[in-house]
Amino acid sequence: MTSDPLPAPDRPLVLVVDDDPSVLAMLGRVARREGFDVLTCTGGRQALERMAEARVDLVLVDLMMPDVGGLEVIKAIRATDQSCRVVIMSGQATIDSAVEAVKLGARDYLTKPFDLHRLRDLLADIKRDVSQLRERLVIEGDLAQRTEFCGMIGRGPGMQELFDMIRRLAPHVRTALITGETGTGKELVARALHHEGPRRARKFITINCSAVVETLFESELFGHLRGAFTGATENKVGMFELAHGGTLFLDEVGELPPPVQAKLLRTLEVGEVQRVGSLEQRRVDVRVIAATNRDLVREVREGRFRSDLFYRLNIVEIPLPPLRERREDIPYLTAAFVREFAEQFGKALIGVSPAGERVLFSARWDGNVRELKNVLERACILAPGELVTERELADSLSQTVAETAPPPPVPEASDLPTAPDAEAPGRASLLAVEREHIARTLKQTGGNKAAAARILGLSRRAFYRRLERHGLGTRPSALVSNPTSAQSRA
Ligand SMILES: Nc1ncnc2c1ncn2[C@@H]1O[C@H](COP(=O)(O)OP(=O)(O)OP(=O)(O)O)[C@@H](O)[C@H]1O
Ligand SMILES: [Mg+2]
């Protein structure tokens, strides 16, 4: 639990690509003097190979090269990586192509012969960018760590309220019901209630009700006497007695068969258990925390869950919001998980690239925090450099989307223009996710595109490109108000 930033190589890395060795030597010298580490390549193909191995912060690339030219290099980089900065270099005569390069996503262009002042200024600017990004990532990681509560990360108002609620309840609560979708952190909350309460030094015992064979429930919970039923060769102490003085966590309580529900209710009400095969009542003092990802109200309505037990458990209900309703926590969860995995895998990862953050921010997260954690674990394993980029995240996300097939339907999917790569399931789902999120954000801003772009962390140009790609920009839809005024300023 240290808040020291991870050791980060503090010099940004520039890859210089030019077929003229004297240019490489000169640029290398200047860049080193400006505080960069330098890699050089004499051709575009070799440059792309290098980029697959090393995470570079900046590419300085010549426009005209014999094998693969600068524009091709930019296109190839942009196809997989939005965060690497690219600067194109060209002679005066090819200035139109330099403009084209900027359209393709180059940050700037330099004309030959080089203006040394401009070159130095540009390098200094980029170096400042890189270190600001690193600082921000370290700060987010520190904040996440500092505001952690019993292993739970959450900076948004929803999670802060939850932490307060746990602090208030933990000293007194006898029974509680934690509800929420899978992966929202129900088990962490149960442990927090135990840990923050007066029984923290006593046992915390978990029984996962979905993993118990139906006929053994009663004996698991309440114990049995030798000979009580076939196979009962020894006396057995049940979970309630084992947890005496401490906490019993009934995970997936919705799976309890009705006869056991009745016995559980009795135990909760009178504080006694009866081992199977015994007439003796034994007193138990146990705090019972139940959790479910089912809709218990519906289970009650449909007769699968006893209403009296439901009301008894539900006296204190702790509902956990799904991750998509508290997206403000995603950057902090991300920062904390990347730190955790960096340490676990012994990698010098400091965080997620800005484009990667946008991918994470707009995903559906049907599997909630668990899914986010799994996606980041895989991406951290894949990431070659100090940043986890959108490339690794998209790969990793498409895998979870594939794992949780069939994917839930996307609203308005019918008017999705067929994406060019719709046959690739992972990519197609990501596109659909992106489209849905953009549409929702536009709705949220009342059709104000500049505001939507800001919320999504995109430049207006990048935002317009996406609108076009998803067919959201030009339709006379309620989402779109004033399409020209924002564009003219982009
Ligand atoms: N707020 C959080 N901060 C950090 N990690 C979290 C948070 N919420 C959940 N996690 C992590 O996500 C994973 C899933 O959490 P947990 O097992 O508590 O979910 P659950 O609600 O019990 O899910 P299920 O209904 O599928 O059992 C765990 O690895 C947990 O550590
Ligand atoms: Mg659980």
111 bridge partner residues? 90
* pLDDT, tens digit (0-9, with 9 covering 90-100), for 136-188: 888 888 888 888 999 999 988 899 999 999 999 999 999 999 999 999 999 99
The helix/strand/coil state of 303 is: coil
CA of 360 to the centre of ligand 2 (A): 23
CA gap 188, 200 in Å, rounded:
14
Comparing CA positions, the residue from 296, 430, 272 lying closest to residue 362 is: 430
- Interval between CA 326 and ligand 1 midpoint (Å): 14
Helices (H) and strands (E) in the chain, counts: 20, 16
Beta strands 247-251 and 287-292: pairing type? parallel
Task: Tell me what percent of the chain is helix, strand and coil, each rounded to the nearest 5.
Answer: 50, 15, 35
Read off the pLDDT of each residue in 32-50 and give the average, rounded to a whole number: 94
Average pLDDT (122-130) is 94
Ligand 1 site, residue 334, Cβ cutoff 6 A: no
325: pLDDT strictly greater than 50: yes
In short, whether 370's Cβ falls inside 6 Å of ligand 1 is: yes
Fold classification of 157-319 is: Rossmann fold (3.40.50)
* Residue 430: predicted pLDDT: 64
Best of 150, 187, 249, 368 to mutate for ligand 1, by most ligand atoms within 8 A of CB?
187
Lowest-pLDDT range, 169-178, 229-238, 388-397, 431-440? Answer: 431-440
Cβ–ligand 1 distance for 209 under 6 Å, the answer no
For residue 459, the model assigns a pLDDT of 67
Output the CA angle 142-144-148, nearest 5 degrees: 120
Cα–Cα distance, 129 to 384 (Å, whole number): 21
Alpha carbon nearest to ligand 1 atom 29, residue: 370
User: Cα(189) to centroid of ligand 1, in Å?
Assistant: 9
pTM for the whole structure: 0.71
Task: Please report which residue ranges of 196-329 form alpha helices under DSSP H.
Answer: 217-222, 239-242, 258-270, 296-301, 307-313
**Right CATH number for 13-143 from 3.40.1360.10, 3.40.50.2300, 3.40.50.10490, 3.40.1180.10?**
3.40.50.2300
* pLDDT at residue 489 is higher than 80: no
Of ligand 1's listed atoms, the one at least distance from the Cα of 190 is 18
Nearest CA to ligand 1 atom 15: 185
User: Which band of pLDDT confidence, cut at 50, 70 and 90, is reported for residue 354?
Assistant: confident
Domain boundaries, the chain: 13-143, 157-319
Question: Per-residue confidence at 482, pLDDT binned at 50, 70, 90?
Answer: very low
One fold for both 13-143 and 157-319? Answer: yes
pLDDT per residue as tens digits for the range 427-471: 445 667 778 778 877 776 767 777 777 667 676 777 777 887 777
The total number of residues written for the chain in this structure: 490
